Amino acid sequence: MRRATILLATLALLGVLGVAAALAATAPPKPQVATDAKGDVRSPLDIKRVSLSRSADGRLRASITLTDPWDAKDLLADSGPPGSVCLKAWTTTAPPDTTPDYLACATADKDGELRGSILQERANKLPARTGSADVTRPSDATVTLRFSQTAIGKPATLYAAAETTRPGCPRGSCIDLAPDAPKTLTLKLQEPAK
C-alpha cells in the first residue's frame, strides 16, 4: 500500500512539473524596452520610450511614448506627407542596413482620428497593407498598437525600432528613432526547431 501511495505521489509530482514546464514554454517573452534622448530631433514628435512585447493572446503590443502630449490632429499636414508614429519591423532581413520588412503605424484620417495599419515594404512599389492594428491612447503622450503576428509573417525573431515622422517634412531631420540606429529591439517569438 505504501509503495502505491509513493508511486501515485511521484506521478502527481511529475504531472505538476510537466504542466509547469508547458506553461513556461508558452509564456510570453520578456518585454523589450528602449529610451531615447529628449531634443534629439527637430520635431514635436520626439520619442521618449518604446516597448515591445507579445501578449498572452499571441498579439504583438508596441507602446510608443513621446516627450510631450500630442493629439491625432498633430499628424495632419497642411502640405506634404502626413506625420506618423510607427514601429519598423525586420522579420526576414537584417537591420539596420536594410529597409524594414513591415511598418505598424498610427496615422490620422482627415477628421483627425487615429487609425492603425500594417504595411509590407516592397521593392520599387508602394507598401502593401497586410492588416490592421488596434490603436489605443493610454496617456496623452503614448500610443499603443496591438496587431497579429500573422500580419507580419509570423517571424521566429522580430527586430524593431520606433519611428516618428513630422507632418509636412520629407527630410531625415524630421524623423526620430528609438533606439537610435544601428540598435534595435529584439523579441524572440518562437523557439528554434531542435
pLDDT in tens, 116-125: 999 999 989 9
| 159 falls within a domain | yes
| Number of domains present in the structure of the chain | 2
30-67: pLDDT as tens digits: 999 999 999 999 889 999 999 999 999 999 999 999 99
- Hunting for cell 502505491 — which residue is that? 4
Q: In this structure, is residue 47 part of a structural domain?
A: yes
Asked whether residue 157 falls in the same domain as residue 87, the answer is yes
CATH code (residue 54)? 2.60.40.1190
Is the same domain home to 140 and 177?
yes
Segments of the chain assigned E as strands: 32-35, 47-54, 60-66, 84-90, 102-108, 114-122, 125-132, 134-139, 142-147, 157-165, 175-178, 185-188
Of 93, 34, 94, 28, nearest to 60 (Cα)?
Answer: 28
Query: Range of 3's domain?
Result: 1-27
Q: For residues 171 and 108, state if they share a domain.
A: yes
Same-domain pairing of 82 and 145: yes
- What pTM value is reported for the model? 0.82
- The verdict on 49 and 143 lying in the same domain is yes
